[in-house]
Structure 1
Amino acid sequence: MKYPIGIQSFERIIEDGYVYVDKTHLIYDLTHSGSIYFLSRPRRFGKSLLVSTLENYYLGHKELFKGLAMEKLEKEWNVHPVFHVDFNGANFTKEGVLETMLEDYVNKWEKQYGLHTNRELETGLRFRDVLKSAHEQTGHRAVVLIDEYDKPILDVLDMDNELEDRHRNVLKAFYSIFKVADAHLQFVLLTGVTKFSQVSVFSGFNQPKDISMDTRYETLCGITQEELDRYFAEPISAMAIKYRCSTEEMKSLLQQKYDGYHFSESLTDVYNPFSLLNALDSLQIRDYWFSSGTPTYLIRLLAHFKENMNELTGKYYPPEEFIDYKADVERPLPMIYQGGYLTIKDYDMRRNRFLLDFPNNEVKNGFLTALVAAYLQPRKQLSNWIDDVVDALEAGEADTLCTLFTSFLASIPYTMRRKEDETEKERYFQYTFYLIMRLISVYTVYVEKVQSQGRVDCIVETPQYIYIFEFKLDGTADEALQQIEDKGYAREYVADSRKLFRIGAVFSSETGTIGEWKTR
């Protein structure tokens, strides 16, 4: 089986015999139900392949769809003029790159249709004339496909406000011609990661229909469980043999690592296609999506976190709070959601609220690692440290945990610690503790778990051990242990056969690391 890893050309996938998960029944429905659409999906989620499939469909390449659902659904196969704009390959941090790219596209199209337009005319108006001419010359209305429409903005977001505003205005002027050229348009699709609103680049033309959370098209990109079972049974069996487990256990491992995305209230599970295909090809479970590159805008976004990541996850939100991005880096939730770092986990129909959390282990671990690196800037190698902590938890070595926590906290530069006042100090250590415990959550980890008599700082459950942590800032370990007893934090585990550790630990604001650690 050949896997189309990194291949975004539908034509190449079909002609060269790569596996193609048939989405053409959804594409047929999409193209026959409306005309102007917007679709948001995370990076490397198949948006470019969708655009390429649409391009070949509208160009009438019937032979490429042999054996696919589209072959039976489409009867006419009309050939339309297609205009494909792909912003993927350019770096828009330099002034003038966006204008040059659009100019180049329009020049090429003018030559294609024999137009000799005044070059002093705005690029958008020249494109309007191209669309009109293409319609008149071919007898069929034009199709416009714009891939990663938001990249010119994301590349400079929160980095160069002047260039960001300029890119918005250029794109707004270019897209505004869709309104005046409406009579010449058959179909328009804009794809991207983020939907910008209020300061919208879309405001110059009729608002596209946003299908990002449309139940009918939630599986338009990505791979469902049914598709995984139908197309990839053989490599899953091969992985099971390699990992010395059953097929069902192998499927469970793949689900935990790469599944869990939901794009509507129907909560249909969708796998990250990039990671899944890489895993099936190499027969290795690894962090493919996150290790393929953290977007620079996310790194810049992380710099704005003020001890609030623990307030974002595991909460219900109205859709307007995470769907529309209003270019406010102090409110990062929409960007984190649309970037694929959070997803819908539940839907409360009565209140129209969505529960957001990490989609799977790959994203959770990758995102938190990036967040820790940006927030704490530790000198220790995070992955090695996490492995050591997990080993200690598995072995029931509470004293080793003390050593590991002490050394990690000591590796954080002094300049990163909050020193302004007692409230800031406490928030810093609370957030540091939260990030650390989320990072090592290979097993069941409860952070600030609510019980009948209070809120436990942390409980970690492994197959053989239970660890109850209570942390104090500049207090004593005895005070922490006494709180565990007074509040009855261990009461729910009285009948549990696993060995229980009660750990009282003290953060020292003076040294920035563990000041005292006692186990009972």
Structure 2
Amino acid sequence: MQNIRKLPIGIQSFEDLRANNYLYVDKTEFVYNLVHTGKVYFLSRPRRFGKSLFISTLKAYFEGKKELFSGLKIEELEKDNPDAWKSYPVIYLNFAQNNFSKENFLNECINLQLEEYEKKYDIEKKYSDNLNPVHFAGRFINIVKTAREQTGLQAVVLIDEYDKPLLDTQNNEDLTEDNRQTLRGLYITLKALDENLKFVFLTGVTKFSKVSIFSDLNQLEDISITERYAAICGITEDEMLSTFEPEIKIMAEKNEITEQECIKKLEQIYDGYHFHHNCKGVYNPFSLINALKNLDFSYYWFATGTPTFLIKKLSQSTMNYMDLSNGIEATAQEIQDYRNDNPNPIPLFYQTGYLTIKGYDKEFGVYLLKYPNDEVKYAFINSLVPSVLNIQSTSELDIVSFARDIKKGDIESVMLKFKALFAKLPYTTCKKEKEDSIVEQNFQNVFYLVFTLLGQWSAVEETSSFGRADCVLQNGNNIFIFEFKRDKSADEALNQIEESKYVEPYLASGKNIIKIGASFSTKERNLSEWKIVKE
């Protein structure tokens, strides 16, 4: 059976989407609420999350293109509003499609967009150097005021991916500062133009704090972590089921699973983003729609960009790799405090979508942040492997070979593979006490990475009511309980499994229980011995 309905992959124009009969998840109620309850907004969401499409929807609404909204929620909501569907002058600045890693790229981008509106409103050229950022503010003010004079209506300003010129230059402090000053000079005009503006909406991945951009726009309403707008981008499960039911059915048939199993798998891989603690999760729209189009449960979002800057930020911090899986607590202020000189990686990980809200302690006002779903978790862990294990690519780890050994119950082969991995780790030239600490950390990281990645094919647990095992892995009819000791014997590791009753929760399962005790030698920088005991 062929999927003949049009899925909007890569479609960021609302007009294109509606005019060409692509499937559309109706977000127009959010447009109505924004327009009728406020004026100047900022929204932060991860990349490829539908920000550009939403801005395009706002653009079509303010341009009065009523025919594009036929059958959508906003048509009913606006039916008794005599002021609806007016054609306002819209100034739309788009930074999403450019790369700003080189000098003057930002100036050229701004100039081209301002020239477009100067031509539209027949504004006479006043400056000999249009690329001079000093002139941008004056040109922008002139465009807005002229647009109002010619139309008799206040202008609408929409700015997409306002922060991309800063994110693209993170490794170049001087260029980042130049771009920041250029953007500040442009954005600060929004406050001075207030009486000439009907509506303002800015989007970005991050909310740069303390960089004199948003500090000057104190009238800006940040809706990024508000309950009312938590689902403004992304796709809720209800939206997925009501919009893509035929595609889900076809995908289930193609993968030889039931529809409920298909929904469960889609949820596990692509759902789980929360932008407020008291709201349902949303799916990554880019990944979900690609999966339904390709009928394949692959990792799509992660493939659109590598997180090397995140890995660098993480390595420069005191945060442990395992903290990302176990969960990190942070206040609302912390998750929004992104700036280049902030050593804390939490706001960057949250705002870029690698961590999301998974819980909230109301008494202390702290959020629990974790990976949103399997797509983010496993793809990011894979990206860590080369830097942690000192290898060229993830293929050298050969995690599939580990998984096959687990499936066969061949733990001897698994332990030999671990030993080979440790042999690849680099030696350090630090003082003895620091060297031992690094060796132990490498020891922990190797096991963490391998067992986390094995979770793609096996159920991996780490805790029980009787205590904490280093790892419990279930695959098929086998349950493997691992305990690792540093500079102690394998027998001591096995004794801890017994004394701490790590086996107890699994005795009633009827499955084979295999206990593995292993010893890691700091001196040898490798596994020195292991013992395997079947219950």
* TM-score of Structure 1 vs Structure 2, range by shorter chain: over 0.9
Residue 505 of structure 2 is aligned to residue 501 of structure 1: no
Residue 435 of structure 2 is aligned to residue 421 of structure 1: yes
Of 316, 328, 334, which aligns to 2:347?
A: 334
The percentage of counterpart residues that share the same residue type is 43
Structure 1 match to 2:52 = 48
Amino acid at match of 2:147: A
What does the per-residue CA deviation read over 1:1-41, in whole Å, with 9 as the maximum and x for residues that have no partner? 11110111111111111111111111111111111111111
Contact kept, 8 Å, 1:142 with 1:185, in 2: the verdict is yes
Alpha-carbon distance in structure 2 between the residues aligned to 1:193 and 1:505: 44
Contact kept, 8 Å, 2:162 with 2:202, in 1: the verdict is yes
Q: CA deviation at 1:160?
A: 1.1
Structure 1 match to 2:12 = 8
TM normalised by structure 1 equals: 0.93
Contact kept, 8 Å, 2:389 with 2:421, in 1: the verdict is no
Change beyond 3 A, Cα 1:117–1:280: same
1:80-99 correspondence runs (5 A)? 80-99=88-107
Alpha-carbon distance in structure 1 between the residues aligned to 2:44 and 2:460: 32
Q: CA deviation at 1:260?
A: 0.9
Contact kept, 8 Å, 1:378 with 1:408, in 2: the verdict is no
Q: CA deviation at 1:441?
A: 1.7
Contact kept, 8 Å, 2:93 with 2:160, in 1: the verdict is yes
Say which is worse superposed, 350-359 or 379-388, in terms of deviation: 379-388
1:205-224 correspondence runs (5 A)? 205-224=217-236
Residue 23 of structure 2 is aligned to residue 19 of structure 1: yes
What does the per-residue CA deviation read over 1:372-413, in whole Å, with 9 as the maximum and x for residues that have no partner? 233333246449722222222233221121122223333445
Aligned-partner SS, 2:359: strand
Aligned-partner SS, 1:122: helix
1:435-454 correspondence runs (5 A)? 435-442=449-456, 443-447=458-462, 449=463, 452=466
Structure 2 match to 1:140 = 153
Aligned-partner SS, 2:159: strand
Alpha-carbon distance in structure 1 between the residues aligned to 2:482 and 2:230: 41
RMSD across aligned C-alpha pairs, in angstroms?
2.3
Contact kept, 8 Å, 2:103 with 2:175, in 1: the verdict is yes
The aligned length equals: 517
Alpha-carbon distance in structure 2 between the residues aligned to 1:10 and 1:174: 26
Aligned-partner SS, 2:473: strand
Q: CA deviation at 1:249?
A: 1.1
Say which is worse superposed, 479-488 or 166-175, in terms of deviation: 479-488
Of 148, 166, 173, which aligns to 1:161?
A: 173
Structure 2 match to 1:348 = 361
In structure 1, stretches of 5+ residues that fail to align are none
Amino acid at match of 1:366: A
Structure 2 match to 1:122 = 135
Change beyond 3 A, Cα 1:410–1:451: farther
Aligned-partner SS, 2:218: coil
Structure 1 match to 2:199 = 187
Alpha-carbon distance in structure 2 between the residues aligned to 1:260 and 1:164: 33
Q: CA deviation at 1:107?
A: 2.3
Amino acid at match of 1:161: E
Alpha-carbon distance in structure 2 between the residues aligned to 1:464 and 1:423: 38
Residue 392 of structure 2 is aligned to residue 367 of structure 1: no
Structure 1 match to 2:36 = 32
Q: CA deviation at 1:49?
A: 0.4
Structure 2 match to 1:57 = 61
Structure 2 match to 1:261 = 273
Change beyond 3 A, Cα 1:435–1:24: same
Q: CA deviation at 1:222?
A: 0.9
Alpha-carbon distance in structure 2 between the residues aligned to 1:306 and 1:502: 33
Of 210, 228, 232, which aligns to 1:198?
A: 210
Q: CA deviation at 1:345?
A: 1.3
Q: CA deviation at 1:512?
A: 4.2
In structure 2, stretches of 5+ residues that fail to align are none
Contact kept, 8 Å, 1:472 with 1:507, in 2: the verdict is yes
